Amino acid sequence: MSPAPRTPAAEGPGPRRDTRGIVDAAELLARVRFRRHDPAPELRPYLEHYWFIDWELSEPYASHVVPHPSVNVVFQRYRDEDTTFAEVAGIGLELFTKKLTGVGRVCGVQFRPGGFRPFAPDRPVSEWTGLRVPLDTVFTDADAASVAAVLDPETDHARVAALDAFLLAHGPAPDPQATQAMELVQLARTDRSIRRVSELARAAGLSSRSLQRLFAHHVGVGPKWVILRYRIHEALERAEATGTEGAPDWAGLAAELGYSDQAHLVRDFTATVGVPPTAYARQVSDP
């Protein structure tokens, strides 16, 4: 008899509180009302959190995010443009920039890496990577009423309830491989001894090829990309802390994160964020 599929355990209490991935988080949080909420208990094993942003700006502001290896479903309303829509945002491979103007509202669902496939099992998650597609491309019964149900309420509680109802109507379908993928991404996120794909494959008891296939189908990007992205998130957070903790020891951080030398960290950081880490640290500490 084959073992029963495992249900992934929800991560610690409450949504994440860090700002990893947000470029110049302090500046963004000074301009918008940003908060995170937990979904319904049945959804927590598959979702990181819901994230809500409301703003009323007198001048445009460009936000920048170094994407997580996560699929997002995003409900959006831009009052000045008189537009309301929702989309599925596959994992972004590049720095994501969004210009905010006037009055607007966004309600997002951030899935755990590997957690989206149980809600959309018909296609590998890699098919959505780098793409932002209308919600009804993936969830064919989604319509304007579905979008309004999330964006119209004025209370966060009501918006959370609407998102819960939408997602619970679409899954999740049991998927042991999705559970395994989520566990392995979490290992790459938290275990700094995992620095190479071969080390993650060994921890999983899989060949490197099987690990690559699992990540393509259920995460959307390869394991090497995931490991590198979490390194950059860590470096970005250290740079953000420059004002309170002093300048980071970049050479030491490079070694800590598994880089062969500081130059490799600088190259990856610059390619992802757009400026070298020392310049970024000066920028956020002396705006």
Higher pLDDT, 33 or 273: 33
Token couple for 191:
């275990």
| Percent of the chain residues past pLDDT 70, beyond the cut | 91
Q: What is the pLDDT of residues 161-196, one digit of tens each?
A: 999 999 999 999 999 999 999 999 999 998 878 888
Q: Does 15 fall in a domain?
A: no
Residues 45 and 157 in one domain: yes
Last residue in a domain, options 168, 201, 221: 168
Residues 54 and 156 in one domain: yes
Helices then strands, counting H and E runs in the chain, come out as: 12, 8
Residues 208 and 245 in one domain: yes
Contact of 15 with 36, CB cutoff 8 Å: yes
Confidence of residue 146 (pLDDT cuts 50, 70, 90): very high
Interior CA angle at 71 toward 265 and 39, to 5°?
Answer: 115
Strands 103-111 and 132-134: unpaired
Q: Does 16 fall in a domain?
A: no
Q: What is the pLDDT of residues 123-145, one digit of tens each?
A: 999 999 999 999 999 999 999 99
| CATH code of the domain containing 131 | 2.60.40
| CATH code of the domain containing 216 | 1.10.10.60
Write down the pTM of the prediction: 0.87
Average model confidence (pLDDT) for the chain?
89
Residues 114 and 197 in one domain: no
pLDDT (mean) for 224-238: 88
Q: Is the pLDDT of residue 247 over 80?
A: no
Please count the structural domains in the chain. Answer: 2
Which residues span the domain enclosing 105?
Answer: 25-168
pLDDT for res 242: 64
Torsion of CA 16, 17, 21, 27, to 10 degrees: 150
pLDDT (mean) for 75-89: 94
Last residue in a domain, options 168, 184, 201: 168
Confidence of residue 7 (pLDDT cuts 50, 70, 90): very low
Residues 106 and 227 in one domain: no
Contact of 66 with 229, CB cutoff 8 Å: yes
Residues 32 and 91 in one domain: yes
Residues 252 and 137 in one domain: no
Q: Does 196 fall in a domain?
A: yes
Confidence of residue 3 (pLDDT cuts 50, 70, 90): very low
Last residue in a domain, options 150, 168, 186: 168
pLDDT for res 243: 55
* SS3 label, residue 279: helix
Contact of 265 with 228, CB cutoff 8 Å: no
Residues 107 and 200 in one domain: no
